[in-house]
Chain A
Amino acid sequence: MKYIDEYRNPRLARTLLEAIRRRVSRPWTIMEICGGQTHSIIRNGIDQLLPDTIELVHGPGCPVCVTPLESIERALLLASKKEVIFTSFGDMLRVPGSSRDLFMVRSEGGDVRVVFSPLDALQIARDNPSREVVFFAVGFETTAPANAMAVHQAAREGIGNFSILVSQVMVPPAMRAILRMPANRVQGFLAAGHVCAVMGYEQYLPLSAEFHVPIVPTGFEPVDLLAGILKTVELLEDSQPEVVNSYGRVVSREGNLAARGTIDKVFEVVDRQWRGVGLIPESGLGLRSEYAGFDAEKRFHLSHMSTEESPLCMSGSILQGVMKPDGCPAFGAECTPQHPLGATMVSSEGACAAYYNYHRNL
């Protein structure tokens, strides 16, 4: 397929790998932020092909993994209500709350529907005017444009039975939090390519300048990832802590200005809890007061929810790059994709699921 096969070319991949080998003179620790990239790296064995001196650590860029337990509990409560049709991306249905997940609520009679787009949820609202339709608006900057447009369109059409449960998070504040950790070992970042497609790479310039780290927006295919790692290694070896775009066919400096405009119109920056990590200041998006009528938390008067994480789950350390999945004592034992303790094992983009599915260290 066009722009896929070419970037899976083994000969090109081996060339880049050889170039990395020749360029490395000392150990470097590089974090790939995006969970989709983590899966591609592990599935293709890239982490094992790299020289031993390059360590890849996995970042917090899995939207399912970082959705806080309190948001999951709110989703479970809403989905249990008779008047509610609860709509969500499919990834969220198996994420464990304190004692159950959305699949269980559905089996108990809750009207839980999987949609591909928030516009599908809006259509369900048009088709069911006597019901309340709630969409679980999770994700990073890649889903924010879609969720913003669904709310904007609902307002424009005067659709009164539609609301969203917002758990929208942003990548740069999480990178800043990682770089500020005393335990931080990350020296360079592969930035999430599709987040940059929306927001542009200019948002990383202040971060790179403040912490003196190279940041390289990168794609998802093996050749993209190896090219991104090579560029990061070159910047590290040459002591050039800059932002260099390695995904030019998709990422531009300013990103998608129309999408950014709608995000800004509908959402404002708020503090946000990250599952396993805790509160990261100004790391989330919440609905602006003009759109408060579409906020499910306000519409259904959802107050504080009590939550309880498994004490065995180490996903917080894994999401911050401090621990790797196979370093967790519960990994592959008490915690498997069939019986996950935490979201990093459930999600299709979770680091623990990647190690379980593709790694050989079980």
Chain B
Amino acid sequence: MCLAIPGKLIEIFDENSLRMGLVDVNGTTTRVCLEYLPDIRVGQYTIIHAGFALKIVDEEEAAESLRLWTELIDRGAFDIDGDPPSPLAM
């Protein structure tokens, strides 16, 4: 119920006076209610819970976090070239 992965909004429409949309979640299209994200536009990513889009994923913030961590690696801040402690299943 709490674990939601981001989906991409591909269409917006009205139904029963509610703002609804179609969201592509990893290749599967899902109908969601957009009432809580009045500003979301087609092409943006959103987190969905119980059929409702609840937060536009901030792409700049996502990229910025990754950039900072990658910078740490590139600066050689950590010794990560040895054997990994155990395989990470990811």
Q: Enumerate chain A interface residues (CB-CB to B < 8 A).
A: 1-4, 6-19, 22, 34-36, 39-40, 43-45, 48-49, 61, 63-64, 89, 91, 116-120, 138-140, 142-143, 145-147, 149, 153, 156-157, 192, 194-195, 197-198, 220-223, 227, 248-251, 256, 258-259, 262, 349
Q: Bound complex: CA of A3 vs CA of B46, how far in Å?
A: 11
Chain B residues with Cβ below 8 Å from A222 are 88, 90
A274 to chain B, nearest CB (A): 15
Other than A3-B59, A12-B73, A64-B1, give 5 A-B pairs with Cβ distance below 8 A: A3-B57, A34-B3, A142-B1, A227-B69, A250-B57
Q: Bound complex: CA of A146 vs CA of B64, how far in Å?
A: 31
Chain A residues with Cβ below 8 Å from B35 are 149, 258, 262
Known interface pairs A16-B69, A45-B89, A147-B50; A117-B33 also in contact (CB < 8 Å): yes
Sort A-B residue pairs by CB-CB distance and give the 10 closest, nearest first: A117-B51, A36-B3, A146-B50, A249-B62, A8-B90, A18-B78, A249-B61, A248-B61, A142-B49, A197-B55
Q: Bound complex: CA of A103 vs CA of B16, how far in Å?
A: 32
Size category, B interface: 35 or more
Contact among A63, A146, A157 with B51 in the assembled complex (CB-CB below 8 Å) = A146
Is B1 within 8 A of A145, CB to CB? no
Give me 29 A-to-B residue pairs in the complex whose CB atoms sit less than 8 angstroms apart, sorted by A's number. Answer: A1-B5, A2-B8, A13-B88, A15-B72, A15-B77, A17-B85, A35-B2, A45-B88, A48-B86, A49-B86, A63-B1, A116-B51, A119-B51, A120-B51, A138-B1, A139-B1, A139-B2, A139-B50, A140-B2, A142-B2, A143-B50, A145-B50, A145-B52, A146-B52, A248-B64, A249-B62, A258-B37, A258-B38, A259-B36
Known interface pairs A197-B47, A249-B58; A149-B52 also in contact (CB < 8 Å): yes
Quick check: is B10 within 8 A (CB to CB) of the other chain?
Answer: no
Q: Considering the complex, give the chain A residue whose CB is closest to the CB of B20.
A: A119
Q: Considering the complex, give the chain B residue whose CB is closest to the CB of A49.
A: B85
Is A118 within 8 A of B36, CB to CB? no
Q: Considering the complex, give the chain A residue whose CB is closest to the CB of B73.
A: A15
A234 to chain B, nearest CB (A): 14
A-B contacts at CB below 8 angstroms, number: 175
Interface residue SS majority, chain A? helix
Is A153 within 8 A of B16, CB to CB? yes
Chain B residues with Cβ below 8 Å from A143 are 1, 49-50
Which residues, 30 to 66 on B, are CB-close (under 8 Å) to A?
Answer: 30, 32-33, 35-38, 45, 47, 49-52, 54-55, 57-59, 61-62, 64-66
Is A89 within 8 A of B78, CB to CB? no
A1 to chain B, nearest CB (A): 5
B84 to chain A, nearest CB (A): 6
Is B55 within 8 A of A256, CB to CB? yes
Chain B residues with Cβ below 8 Å from A146 are 33, 49-52
Q: Considering the complex, give the chain B residue whose CB is closest to the CB of A18.
A: B78
Q: Bound complex: CA of A117 vs CA of B5, how far in Å?
A: 16
Is B58 within 8 A of A195, CB to CB? no
Contact among B17, B62, B69 with A15 in the assembled complex (CB-CB below 8 Å) = B69
Interface centre among A8, A48, A248 (most CB of B within 10 A): A248
Is B54 within 8 A of A145, CB to CB? yes
Is A249 within 8 A of B65, CB to CB? yes
B16 to chain A, nearest CB (A): 7
Q: Bound complex: CA of A57 vs CA of B49, how far in Å?
A: 25
Quick check: is B29 within 8 A (CB to CB) of the other chain?
Answer: no
Interface centre among A3, A10, A227 (most CB of B within 10 A): A3
Chain A residues with Cβ below 8 Å from B8 are 2
Contact among B1, B57, B72 with A249 in the assembled complex (CB-CB below 8 Å) = B57
Chain A residues with Cβ below 8 Å from B16 are 153, 157
